[in-house]
Structure 1
């Protein structure tokens, strides 16, 4: 079992002819012998051509109809990325992973409202995210495959870099990942921490979860309160930005402290009140997880 993707996932790359699209599509195809999972690319100006044998179509809908693609990865420049998401939503894909960083907030507001009004069943991961990787099955996005190994620990994170750090520590502990998912740090995005916790809770291939958050917003708090009332599997956390000054933008568009529950300290306090142990140092995520699992007799 896995979350978000499975053996039937067939991938369309939007922006396949750009440098990032070509580079990462090749890397994804090379992982886990998944070359036949990447079935199409989209570029209206290069329809009818191929990239490494992958046919290129003018639209996502045409690519889906001709190849059976049911998921997409977007490497489209920021000015056009929201339109690429909407095109994938209109084609009724199951999953859309948007890697693009720097999409205007108003563009993403339009995407969110459009998906809500249509009651779209499409799951959106990102934007401004590293994608997801299910070890031994499929890589969608830009995560470094070499640090992953199959296992039973789920990872969900707003930070791409901290996703990799958590994965590397889990691997070093001799465990492994059921799936690693980067949800992105923008203020308006698709899947949230709470959505991934639900999926990991329902996944028989996941025994525990590492949840990584940041300053800004209340998503981690909402997820923690849901986990307190619904999770049967242990969750450990880390919140980045403990030294960030209030009111200052800190890299990610969503990582801005305003007041209340969006500071690192307040989030840490609430997570711990909800029974989620929180590492105070990013280098301690793996050891904290291991100690929790040992106390529960799970390793």
Structure 2
């Protein structure tokens, strides 16, 4: 689920306003977008790329590995199933408010075909220095810089803030994995944690969680056996029990999914938990880049 620059990307809904805007940004960032889908504009070219009626038609002529969906909720099931049946290895579903029965059908088809689903309601994936897939500002060097810290987040906005804080502290990122805020997501916090644990380019991990559900507790059980350091921030500390806050999955019933319960589980697993996002760079305790020698500024290597 970590995007690599050699992976070819299909954009479903590429010709729309948002699809066009983010496709341009992805291309400029190095993402290998190869084609788009819009049944009404099949046979045309958009942003210099071919447009097909379906993902299956695209796969036959312009093979791809990933698909990303700029598709409204009512059409999301058809688009996702099209990408899955076409043979996409990973489908990034940006769409939120997809009917529950449609999400179930998507996950069932993905499990049958061995397709990785990221989302629904995700902001996408970023690999600084290689590219991004989705609607995260992976093209913005003030927010994302190549490095060795992997970041996991349900929330795109919180994930952006964390990466901004890391970059300002001189800490680059190996990958950002936006898992999504839907109640039924295809990639969990634990799935993302395992992927970053296996990634040779990731030295430490920041896990951004939220109240509600049990994903952070399940991730904590895995983190307990890791050698890579993990730091976490859990949003929703002041949220009242029984009230939905933020994402669709962020609802607390009694002690289940509570801030206190998640923090206890994480700290018991050896995960440092930040009280505020601004504390995360300090808790990582990674060596900072040495400041440049003023006497050397402006010099160029010999030869």
TM-score, normalised via structure 1 length: 0.91
Counterpart in the other structure of 2:65: 70
* Matches of 2:53 and 2:130, distance apart in 1: 28
* Partner residue of 2:169 out of 151, 167, 173: 173
Matched, 1:140 2:133: yes
Q: Offset of 1:72 from its aligned partner? A: 0.8
Matched, 1:21 2:19: yes
Matched, 1:8 2:6: yes
* Partner residue of 1:252 out of 247, 252, 255: 247
* Matches of 2:65 and 2:255, distance apart in 1: 40
Checking the alignment, whether the CA contact within 8 Å between 2:3 and 2:126 is kept in structure 1 is no
Matched, 1:80 2:75: yes
* Matches of 1:256 and 1:105, distance apart in 2: 17
TM-score, normalised via structure 2 length: 0.90
Any gaps of 5 or more consecutive residues in structure 1? 295-299
* Matches of 1:258 and 1:75, distance apart in 2: 33
Matched, 1:282 2:281: no
Checking the alignment, whether the CA contact within 8 Å between 2:144 and 2:164 is kept in structure 1 is yes
Deviation digits for residues 93-123 of structure 1, max 9, x if unmatched?
Answer: 111111112212232122223333x2x2211
* Partner residue of 2:156 out of 155, 160, 176: 160
Deviation digits for residues 228-283 of structure 1, max 9, x if unmatched?
Answer: 02x11000001111111112121211111123330111101110011101011122
Counterpart in the other structure of 1:238: 233
Give the RMSD, CA atoms, in angstroms: 1.4
Checking the alignment, whether the CA contact within 8 Å between 1:209 and 1:234 is kept in structure 2 is yes
Counterpart in the other structure of 1:124: 117
* Matches of 1:148 and 1:73, distance apart in 2: 20
* Matches of 2:153 and 2:107, distance apart in 1: 20
Larger radius of gyration: 2
* Matches of 1:104 and 1:253, distance apart in 2: 12
* Partner residue of 2:189 out of 156, 173, 193: 193
Q: Offset of 1:63 from its aligned partner? A: 0.7
* Matches of 1:170 and 1:185, distance apart in 2: 23
SS in 2 for 1:288: helix
How many residues of Structure 1 are paired with residues of Structure 2 in the alignment? 284
Counterpart in the other structure of 2:49: 54
Q: Offset of 1:89 from its aligned partner? A: 1.1
Any gaps of 5 or more consecutive residues in structure 2? 288-303
Relative to its length, the structure with more helix (as a share) is 1
Deviation digits for residues 107-160 of structure 1, max 9, x if unmatched?
Answer: 2122223333x2x22111111111011011011111113110000000010111
